[in-house]
Chains A and B, each alone.
Chain A
Amino acid sequence: MTDHPYKKAEDRAFWSRSVARGFDAGAVADRPPFSLSRRDRFMSAGSCFGANVRRYLDAWGLDYVVTERPHPQWPESKENAFYEAYSARYGNVYTARQMLQLLQRATGEFSPTEDHWVARDGTFIDPYRPGLAHRASSLHELRALTAQHLRAVKQAVETATVLVFTLGLTEAWVSAADGAVFPACPGTVAGEYDLERHLFVNFSVGEVAADLDRLIRLLRAINPAIRVIVSVSPVPMVATASGRHVMVATAYSKTVLRVAADEFAHRHPDVAYFPGFEMVLWGHSGESPFTGDLRTVREPVIAAVMRGFRAAYIDDGQEVAGPERAAESPALSEAVAAAIDDDCEEMMADELLPVDR
């Protein structure tokens, strides 16, 4: 028998030895191009699945950067769980373009034309955070709250040493005026849909890759020391506007993001790809990784993924406890996770959409 490359390959190169049996969550990620420690300061952003990051980092006693608090004038503004799940109250950031624009707004490089919506009750809505529980009673209040929010975003990037960014979608709704990306289609969670002013886009690999490259340049400009761990959310789309079956649209979206994330990591020494997507879809045997809705990732699966995250980047030899053990009760932790999932703009839109037949 001749010699060949597979003869000397590690077990992790073989599906039968590393996935079908003997699965080790800690062995899935490639060796990262940088090392992290307990001294690092983390921030996170991304889609619903990314909202889990903070829960685990907090439970592990790692330094999770939080820069936004209730505004002193409106402290009663208790927010929906997914707005409190990140370093600042940006909520879920589904696309690379949305993340790029968030930072461009935080550095004053971009000011969307469509910067407020007026609700029927006369309150003012931030189109880029339409699911906020607290609505401004005046445009002046909205501008003060937005300014505070964007300062907090910038401060988080300045303070963190690591950004964990989870890509979620390629489909988005944008303003026809300047391409500003809305986290949810206007008219669903809030606002009013206008055929002339609101356009549907489905980003390609090239567009996502270009946005990620611009994103890392901007991140470095704010904080040259920051590193990025990028991943792809395994959570299927709630709905598609592409005209295709949602399953096909989801496959396209995840594939594009997966390719773009990998290329992004290969191009930049300060970026690592974390395979949470793969670990959820294939890193277990028997049971579905999802709950009954076939979208929500079960907590034990999330825990396994996060153990893999820790093993890959911050393996400090300490016992790993997740929020299910750190919290007062497992039920509480699950409730927080469920609230994050249920309240995200995508789910809100799903609940609010009429069923037209």
Chain B
Amino acid sequence: MIDLVRLRLSVGVHAEGSREMCVMEAAARLAGEAWTDRPVSVSPVLTALLTCLNDAMDDVQRQDLKRLIPILPGTRGEGGVEVVRSWMVLDWHCRTWPSAWLRAIGCTAVEAAPITDIESLRAALWTLHRASKAAAARREATRLGAFEQRSAGDEATYRLAVAYGKAQVDAVRAMSATSAWSAGWDLSRVYGPQAWDAARDHARSIGRDAALVCAWNACLEGPLTKLRSSMLALVRSLIEARQHVHG
């Protein structure tokens, strides 16, 4: 058995018998499987997503994944279920992730229909493209404003803000909200690599530009917190997808 209360999740893979584990090693242990970070009883889409999150989160945030461990074993579904899950992940990456950032900087969210197949992904591309332009414009305006502040003589404040912003944007990247991209990779290679590459690029640039604006405005933690919760909600939805498909 495994003591989830005392368990400490940490980055990467661990030797068998280690007191520290990654989230998937803990799930394998709970399921009574051999020591592995890719348990056979867990959905491969969930495994891809959660290992990526495990490694990208900081030590404190990572412990939030512990509550998911008991519900992971038994989630591996037949081919159809995993395809549905992959589209759910892509949908989150293309709509939820950029929308959270867009709202945080006062722009309109991505107004696209749910992405459930390659046609709906292609249909969303134009909206994503427009949204990325809007985020880039907002970032440029912020940058110009920052330069004005510097020219006004407040050099120390400017330097501090830039350093703070850089560290925070690194944190956004490391949070790996687009780890969804990893989980959706196989699907995208099969159904539409070009469309997926374009969608990924738009979503990433929206996140990057908006995060810079938020960092400058010292309001980065809000969207980050929301996205962390949203990601965990997505994981729960992925688990439930098995029940829906199987009726």
Binding site for B on A (CB under 8 A): 69, 71-75, 106-109, 137-138, 140-141, 143-144, 146-148, 150-151, 154-155, 158
Say yes or no: B52 contacts A148, CB within 8 Å.
yes
* Contact sample, A vs B, 21 pairs, CB 8 Å cutoff: A72-B179, A72-B181, A73-B56, A73-B179, A75-B204, A108-B14, A108-B15, A108-B16, A109-B15, A137-B170, A138-B167, A140-B170, A140-B174, A141-B173, A144-B176, A146-B12, A148-B55, A151-B12, A151-B13, A151-B55, A155-B38
Question: Which size class do B's interface residues fall under?
Answer: 20 to 34
Say yes or no: B170 contacts A72, CB within 8 Å.
no
> Apart from A72-B180, A75-B181, A108-B15, what 8 extra A-B contacts exist at CB < 8 Å?
A69-B182, A73-B56, A73-B174, A73-B176, A108-B14, A108-B16, A138-B170, A151-B55
Q: A107 CB to closest chain B CB, in angstroms?
A: 6
Digitize B141-167: 1 where CB-to-A-CB distance is under 8 Å, 0 elsewhere.
Answer: 000000000000000000000000001
**Within 8 Å CB of B16, what residues of A?**
108
* Whole-angstrom CA separation of A155 from B55 in the bound complex: 16
Residue from the list B167, B173, B185 in contact with A74, Cβ < 8 A: B173
Closest 5 CB pairs of A and B: A147-B12, A147-B55, A72-B181, A108-B15, A108-B14
**Within 8 Å CB of A158, what residues of B?**
38
Task: Name the prevailing secondary structure of the B interface residues.
Answer: helix
Is B225 among interface residues, defined by CB-CB distance under 8 A? no
Binding site for A on B (CB under 8 A): 11-16, 18, 37-38, 51-52, 55-56, 58, 167, 170-171, 173-174, 176, 178-182, 185, 200, 204
* Whole-angstrom CA separation of A147 from B180 in the bound complex: 17
Task: Name the prevailing secondary structure of the A interface residues.
Answer: helix
* Whole-angstrom CA separation of A138 from B58 in the bound complex: 12
In the complex, residue of chain A having the shortest beta-carbon distance to the beta carbon of B197 = A75
**Within 8 Å CB of B178, what residues of A?**
72-73
Residue from the list B18, B55, B167, B170 in contact with A143, Cβ < 8 A: B55
**Within 8 Å CB of B14, what residues of A?**
108
* Whole-angstrom CA separation of A69 from B183 in the bound complex: 12
Interface centre among A69, A73, A154, A158 (most CB of B within 10 A): A73
**Within 8 Å CB of A154, what residues of B?**
13, 37
**Within 8 Å CB of B11, what residues of A?**
143-144, 147
Q: A218 CB to closest chain B CB, in angstroms?
A: 11
